[in-house]
A and B are shown apart, each in its own frame.
Chain A
Amino acid sequence: MINKLIFILFTVIIFAFSTNALAAWELYDDFSSGSINTGRWNIDDTSASISVDNGQAKFIHQNGTPNDSNYLLFKQTPENILGIKADVFIESCTGDVRTRIAGYSGIVGENHVWSALQVQPSYEKIYTSTGLEGPPPAYTWVEELHYAQYARPITVTGVSFNLTMVFSNDRITYEVDGRGKIVYKSATAIPPTGGDFKAIGTRSTNGDGPCTVYFDNVYILRP
């Protein structure tokens, strides 16, 4: 009996040591309500039309809006979100538009750590990036901390991808079903921002487009 208890105790310890092992994924939105639930999302549609179509969130990113991002921003206690998971399907896309899950994961001095897992059809790639941005409200770009890309080139348009991004205090874990897992571990711990910006959305640097994208089955990881 005592042996069993010791074994269970150590199993729990091992489990607890693994990243966010005690956190749990929960469904945040599967868009089956037929419309964007504004109790769950803040909408930034400055350069895209965002609607719900056949149980999926549909972004139609417009051209002519360089460096203008569109988002559905998590509204329900986003400061407690440790991870985001979503299905992404790009129906059609031109130019440099990318589709992504993204958010601020921590703070270094006065700068904020921005992280994203992005699908970019024109460059035939899925990539991760982490960088430092200055304090709000400008969030001016400071420098890149990390960048990585999955096997390239790949066909992106017309293929469904399940994207996952998980934050912890010294690492960010990215995973694409069937494509592998990338972990970026910072040289030093990065305390949480206490901020609330975590989102799904689209963006073009050059103002290219249009791009039609669907998001579905959005899960979040909470402590």
Chain B
Amino acid sequence: MKNSIIFTCIAVLLFGFTAYAQENWQLYDDFNSGQIDLQKWEIDDSSATITVENGRAKFVHEEGHVLDGSYLLITQGLKTLKGIKATITVESCTGDVRARLASFTGKIGDDYVYSSHEIRADREYILSSLPVLGPAPDYVFKYAYFSGHYKNPLDFMGLPFTMWMVLSRDQANYGVEGQGEIEFSFPNKLSPTDDYFKGIGTMSAIGVGTCTAYFDDVYILRQPPSPAGSLLLLDE
């Protein structure tokens, strides 16, 4: 009996090591309500019109907004959220506009490490990146901490891509269904962030181009609730 308990405990720990990240995604919004649910999202539409169309969040990014991102910002339980997953379809896109998952993941000194997982129409690939930004409120770009992309060139126009990113202070894991995963383990553990911004949206760095992108089936991954899981996986 005692041996069985030990066996079960170790098996559970093993399972926790390998399966947590894949098994605990929770649906946050599938936009089937027909409109943006203001209980779930804060809207920043300074450079795009954001609506719900046929059960998907629709962003129409406008020309002429330099470094002005538009977002649906997650509002519920931000401090325990470590992963975002969504299906993104770019219907049409010009210039350098990108459709993305975005978040802060930690700090280096006073600087913030931003994480973006994005479809880049101009470059014909899906990019994962960790730019380092200066202190609030300006968040000025300082340098690239990491960047990586998948298959290049990628035929993506009009095609849905299920993309996710899971972030901690030690590591960033990015994935694209059918394309693979890229994981970056940081050389040094990041400091905790004090800005919990996480969202989906569009942005152009140079203000050139328009873009129509759809987001659907947004899932979130939270830090594990159990004490055992917390010991294994919590990093804050």
Task: Give me the interface of A with B, judged by CB distance under 8 Å.
Answer: 2-3, 6-7, 10, 13-14, 17, 128, 143-153, 178-187
Proximity string of chain B (183-224) to chain A, C-beta cutoff 8 Å, 1 when within and 0 when not = 111110000000000000000000000000000000000000
Of residues A3, A13, A183, which shows the largest number of chain B Cβ atoms within 10 Å of its Cβ? A183
User: Which of A13, A153, A182, A183 contacts B143, CB < 8 Å?
Assistant: A153
A178 touches B10 (CB 8 A): no
User: Which of A7, A17, A143, A147 contacts B148, CB < 8 Å?
Assistant: A147
CB of B215, distance to nearest CB on chain A (Å) = 22
Chain A residues whose C-beta falls within 8 Å of the C-beta of B153 in the assembled complex = 143
A179 touches B187 (CB 8 A): yes
B146 touches A150 (CB 8 A): yes
A149 CA to B131 CA in the complex, in Å? 12
Query: What residue of chain A has the Cβ atom nearest to residue B144's Cβ?
Result: A152
Proximity string of chain B (151-170) to chain A, C-beta cutoff 8 Å, 1 when within and 0 when not = 11100000000000000000
> B180 contacts the other chain (Cβ, under 8 Å)?
yes
A185 touches B181 (CB 8 A): yes
A182 touches B184 (CB 8 A): yes
Task: Give me the interface of B with A, judged by CB distance under 8 Å.
Answer: 2-3, 6-7, 10, 14, 17-18, 143-153, 175, 177-187
CB of B61, distance to nearest CB on chain A (Å) = 26
A152 CA to B141 CA in the complex, in Å? 12
CB of A214, distance to nearest CB on chain B (Å) = 23
Chain B residues whose C-beta falls within 8 Å of the C-beta of A148 in the assembled complex = 146-149, 182, 184
B183 touches A185 (CB 8 A): yes
B6 touches A3 (CB 8 A): yes
A147 CA to B128 CA in the complex, in Å? 10
A181 touches B185 (CB 8 A): yes
B180 touches A186 (CB 8 A): yes
Chain A residues whose C-beta falls within 8 Å of the C-beta of B3 in the assembled complex = 2-3, 6
A77 CA to B143 CA in the complex, in Å? 42
A150 CA to B152 CA in the complex, in Å? 19
A151 touches B182 (CB 8 A): no
User: Which of B2, B149, B187 contacts A147, CB < 8 Å?
Assistant: B149
Chain B residues whose C-beta falls within 8 Å of the C-beta of A181 in the assembled complex = 183-185
A161 CA to B93 CA in the complex, in Å? 40
Chain B residues whose C-beta falls within 8 Å of the C-beta of A150 in the assembled complex = 146
User: Which of B150, B175, B181 contacts A145, CB < 8 Å?
Assistant: B150
Question: A10-B14, A143-B152, A187-B178 are contacts. A149–B147 as well, Cβ < 8 Å?
Answer: yes
A14 touches B14 (CB 8 A): yes
CB of A104, distance to nearest CB on chain B (Å) = 18
CB of B44, distance to nearest CB on chain A (Å) = 29
Chain B residues whose C-beta falls within 8 Å of the C-beta of A6 in the assembled complex = 3, 6-7, 10
